Every structure is written in C-alpha cells, then in structure tokens.
Amino acid sequence: MDPADAYQPDRSLKGKIRRRAVRLVHRRPLAQAPERPMVSFTFDDAPASAVTTGVALLEARGARGVFYVSAGLCGQEGPMGTYAQPADYQALAAAGHEIACHTFSHLDCGRASGAAAEADADRNLAAFKAWNTGRVTSFAYPYGDVAAGPKGRLAGRYATLRALHHGLIEAGSDLNQLPAVGIEGPDGEAVARAWLDRALARKAWLILYTHDVREPPSPWGCTPGALARLIDHAQTGGAEILTTAEAAARLGVSAGGTAAAA
C-alpha cells in the first residue's frame, strides 16, 4: 500500500482543539513517581518487521517490548508492510513480550462514539482470549487520538491508556491519556534520544513507540540501527526497560475492570 493512501486522522483546527481539551477531562493522575528511569519500547499495529527485527534487537539485549495489536489487521498488507499473524502474537507472549489492545479495526477513537470504541476494544479482547496471549491491561488509542466519550468509556478498564503527545510519565501524569514519543520520520531517533536523556535525568518513565523496523522504514517506522542505538543508550544510561504492564505494576497501578484472561 502506498503511504499516501493511508487513513488520515482529523488534523483540522477543530480536531486540534478537541485533542487539547480532552486532556482536561476523565483524568486519572498517577500517584507515585518512579524511583528510577524506566523506558518502554512499543510497536503499534505490529507489522511483521517489528515482530522479527524489532524483537530480535530487544531480546539480544535481554529486553522485552509491547505490541499494541488490532486483531482485524492480522495478515493484511498496510503502509508499514504486512501485519503479523495470531501465531506470532502467541510466540511473543510466550517469550515475555506484552500483547496490548489497540481496538479490533484500528478505530479512530477521536471520531467514534464511546459505545463504538468500547465495542471495538471488546472485540479485540475476545480475539486475544481465543489466541491465549494473556491478560490485557494496556491500551493505546489508534492514531493517538481520542474524544471525551471513548476516553470516559475506556478509562476504568485498563491500567494505562496511551496517546501520542510528547512527554514524560511522572507523578500526576494522566493514566487515561499517557504521553509517548515516536521513533519515526527523518529526525525520529534524535527526538527520541533527547526525550530519553530527559527521562534519565528526571528518573521518569518514557514510552517510545514506532511501527515497522526495516530498511528503509515507512514514514511511521524506524531503521534497525536507530532502534538498537536507543535501546543501548537507555541501558547504558541506567534505565530499566520494562513493558507498560510491568512499569504500571511497579508504580502501583492496576486495571479497574477488563480484559482477556490468561
């Protein structure tokens, strides 16, 4: 698929205002600050290259990652390459990686109703349960976007819900709309490294995300070299690399309701 043909979320002025306004509602502040820097390496949509190359780079360094999966995309071709299959997710879970929710159809939660977002997430969880990939406590809004309705409906069902605005996770951060920094685009590695340095200095939790891991990457992915250098920088800087579920548990955060049973 040509990247130019990919779905585009709402980039209008109204959409920008909504994205800022929704960060003020349905908040769930993190009560406990991290005691040491933590970094989570996450892969949205789980293209096959993330499952192969991305995983190999993490595991070679004794680390594990997080895969925000939309079950309805399995095996399809997308702008980041072919998406992984259920057997891949089963293998990832067995190896200690985290399988997390991203809605079944990659629904745009910025444009959907609360009921529609909840139903699509539930459909995704049902697929995970059939695959036996473990309990799900982490969610990421597709496109990083959410409106008040979906945020309110999904808020109590997961330990963490992740968006895409830049920032560090510290005491007071909104667990229902956590920040994250992308390793994507021409300056993706430099931007991610700068935020990583801030996390190391402040003893904060940083979530990094990307999509495909290949040469050349899509506009939403990164090269294997960039990912390897960031993992190495995190480890040499003294950060602990954790999945989002592990980091949330470390901070005393638990899901209020939810998910696919192990």
Backbone φ, ψ for residue 101 (5° rounding): -90, 140
Residue 25 forms part of a structural domain: no
Measured over the CA atoms of residue 192, residue 195, residue 201 and residue 205, the dihedral's sign is negative
- 52 burial (CB, 10 Å; 0-12 / 13-18 / 19+) is middle
Give tens-digit pLDDT for 50-102.
Answer: 999 999 999 999 999 999 999 999 999 999 999 999 999 999 999 999 999 99
Tally the C-alpha atoms within 13 A of residue 26's C-alpha that lie toward its C-beta: 21
* Residue 93, domain extent: 30-250
What stretches of 141-229 adopt beta strand conformation (E)? 160-162, 181-182, 205-210
Give tens-digit pLDDT for 1-58.
Answer: 556 556 677 777 777 777 788 888 999 999 999 999 999 999 999 999 999 999 999 9
CA–CA gap between residue 46 and residue 176 (Å, rounded): 22
Residue 261 forms part of a structural domain: no
Mean pLDDT of 136-163: 95
Domain count, the chain: 1
**Residue entry with tokens 């699509």:** 120
- For residue 175, the domain's CATH number is 3.20.20.370
Mean pLDDT of 241-248: 98
Residue 145 forms part of a structural domain: yes
Mean pLDDT of 110-138: 96
**Residue entry with tokens 């430099």:** 190
Which pTM value belongs to this model? 0.93
Least confident of 19-23, 122-126, 134-138, 230-234: 19-23
Residue 45 forms part of a structural domain: yes
Residue 210 forms part of a structural domain: yes
Three-class DSSP category at 105: coil
Residue 21 forms part of a structural domain: no
Residue 246 forms part of a structural domain: yes
Mean pLDDT of 160-182: 97
Residue 141 forms part of a structural domain: yes
Q: pLDDT-based confidence at 119, cuts 50/70/90?
A: very high
| The predicted structure's pLDDT at residue 12 | 76
| Closest by Cα among 154, 179, 153 to 23 | 179
Q: Is the pLDDT of residue 257 over 50?
A: no
